[in-house]
Structure 1
Amino acid sequence: MRSISMMLVEETEVPQGALPVDVFKAHLRLGSGFAEDNVQDAVLESYLRAAIAAVEARTGKVLIEREFSWSLSHWRDASGQALPVAPVSAVASVTLVDRAGGETVVNPARYVLRPDMQRPRLCPVSGLLPVIAGGGMVRLRFLAGYGPEWSDLPADLAQAVLLLAAHYYEYRHETALSGRCMPFGVSSLLERFRTFAGCMS
């Protein structure tokens, strides 16, 4: 089997307004009602972003809705290509890129998104997905995530993010530990959301 060259790019980041800073403060039991209430907001946001990234990497799930592009050198299965993350709500475009860099946008009538919480797929309406020229690639742009708001997340994933962000906060002076360690309680919450490698073939 030929090896597939792939690259996933996050085109938009988690909006600041979608980060549950106040919820995180309550989780940490930080004091309130003081003039300095917001002094740690930037730091807390950084821990939330780090925790979201770690949870997404562990599960293959995109938490807060945003745009991605995914390039690959050939289809693993031209009758239906599994997408690299879930959930995916819309495919914005499919573009064939030839060896010289020329681009051809595929007519959306030729493909359809088959949503799935574990393994969304891009499928042809009939026949097979369009041929990728030798030395070329295909680039997909899509929207992924449970929704645009923190409240759209499943409760277990939201709790896992808060627990992990709190762990980073607690061990903020021990960089060797906080950067790699996933507490057991967080791992337990994430287990049922993980997409196993065999599901992405």
Structure 2
Amino acid sequence: MTILVRTTAPAEAPITLSEAKAQIRVDHNEEDVLIQHYIDAATSLLDGSAGLLGRCLVTQSWKMEVDALTGPILLPFPDTVIDEAKFADGDAEDVPYRREMCGQRPVLIPLQGWGRSAVISFTAGYGAPQDVPATLRQAMLLLIAHWYDNREAVTIGAAGAPLSMAVDALIAPSRLQRV
């Protein structure tokens, strides 16, 4: 079994409150809490292990606990730096490993210690908020504006549209393809 836990959240969201307010043309402070909620919701929709992108936006730290090293370990996100890998049983000694890539995602290949449990700490994300690709930031701004303008569920015809085509098109190139 593998357990994945975010240990340090990003210091900042990919979109600032002032950027969101400029997008929705709000020049007062009465709805700042609501707009910040939309920023947080758009970030959650795209970011991390449960996000639509399958990757991290702004730099954040994660820990992966592995019951037993039985082969190469595919790390969950692209744009990942392995901070440390330690055996979880005993005195927490370093796991000797080699790092390779499998498509967009890094793979940790243990060089010894098969069958032992391990904890892998890593950092993932594009970097600072300004390093997040413009297409993803624009998709978030479109979502925030949509939610601000439509404060209830929106139905088009007989079927609801979970994401606008523009948002879907903007995030598609950055989505991690899961196989």
Distance (Å, rounded) in 1 between the aligned partners of 2:24 and 2:173 = 26
| From 109, 131, 135, the counterpart of 2:114 | 131
CA contact (8 A) 1:96 1:132 kept: no
Does residue 27 of the first structure (1) align with residue 32 of the second (2)? no
Q: In percent, how many aligned pairs have the same letter?
A: 26
Number of residue pairs matched by the alignment: 171
Separation (CA, whole Å) in 1 of partners of 2:86 and 2:167: 38
Larger strand fraction of residues: 2
The CA deviation string for residues 155-195 of structure 1, in whole angstroms up to 9 with x for no partner, is: 1111112122223333334499xxx9222221111112222
Paired residue type of 2:174: F
Alignment match, 1:156: 135
Letter in 2 for 1:140: I
Separation (CA, whole Å) in 1 of partners of 2:3 and 2:150: 32
Is residue 85 from structure 1 mapped to residue 77 from structure 2 by the alignment?
yes
Say yes or no: does 1:9 pair with 2:5: yes
Is the 1:74–1:132 Cα contact (8 Å) retained in structure 2? yes
TM-score by length of 1: 0.71
Aligned to 2:53: 59
1:71 pairs, out of 52, 65, 68, with 65
What's the CA shift for 1:16?
4.2
Q: Give the aligned partner of residue 125 of structure 2.
A: 145
What's the secondary structure of 1:54's corresponding residue?
A: helix
1-structure distance, mates of 2:68, 2:131: 34
RMSD of equivalent CA atoms: 2.8
Report the CA distance shift for 1:197/1:16 in structure 2 as closer, same or farther (over 3 A): closer
Structure 1: state its 5+ residue gaps.
Answer: 32-36
Give the TM-score taking structure 2 as reference length.
0.79
